[in-house]
């Protein structure tokens, strides 16, 4: 019976060696793929995580400064309020309260205006 076990042992050793070879080839393919990917990434000149975080913080700071400057510009663009003294409004007296002499003077002045136009 030992003679029958020997071919099975040989077959199992052959399969084990074949599996080891396939695993070795798989590892080589993975290593080559990883090296190729790393070289592509290096050629792309990508930014590292730390540099990205620093740049992100810088952009956030600049965005707040820009908003503050926009608010300042908006305030400067608003026209300044002028404090001009208003002229007192003089109300014309009602016609019934105007004395007769004033009415006559007004008619006389109005007559001169119409005479100049003609």
Q: What is the predicted pLDDT for the residue at 66?
A: 97
pLDDT above 70 as % of the chain: 67
Establish if 70 belongs to a structural domain: yes
Say if residue 16 is in the same domain as residue 31.
Answer: yes
Say if residue 41 is in the same domain as residue 1.
Answer: yes
- Tell me the pLDDT tens digit for each residue of 21-58: 888 889 999 999 999 998 888 888 888 899 999 999 99
Domain, as residue range, for 15: 1-46
Establish if 105 belongs to a structural domain: no
- The tally of domains found in the chain comes to 2
Say if residue 42 is in the same domain as residue 1.
Answer: yes
> Cα-flanking dihedrals φ and ψ of residue 4, to 5°?
-75, -30
For residues 5 and 12, is the Cβ–Cβ distance under 8 A?
Answer: no
As a residue count, the chain comes to: 118
pTM above 0.75, yes or no: no
Say if residue 57 is in the same domain as residue 28.
Answer: no
Establish if 107 belongs to a structural domain: no
Running DSSP on this structure, what letter comes out for residue 98? S
């Amino acid at each position: 019976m030992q003679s029958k076990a020997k071919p099975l042992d040989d077959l199992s050793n052959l399969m084990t060696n074949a599996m080891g070879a396939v695993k070795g080839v798989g590892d080589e393919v993975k290593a080559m793929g990883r090296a190729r990917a790393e070289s592509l990434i290096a050629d792309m000149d990508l930014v590292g995580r730390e540099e990205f975080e620093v740049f992100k913080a810088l952009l956030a700071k600049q965005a707040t400064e820009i908003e503050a400057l926009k608010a300042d510009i908006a305030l400067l663009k608003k026209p300044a309020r002028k404090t001009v003294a208003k002229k007192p409004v003089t109300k014309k007296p009602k016609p019934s309260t105007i004395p007769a002499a004033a009415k006559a003077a007004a008619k006389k002045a109005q007559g001169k205006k119409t005479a100049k136009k003609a």
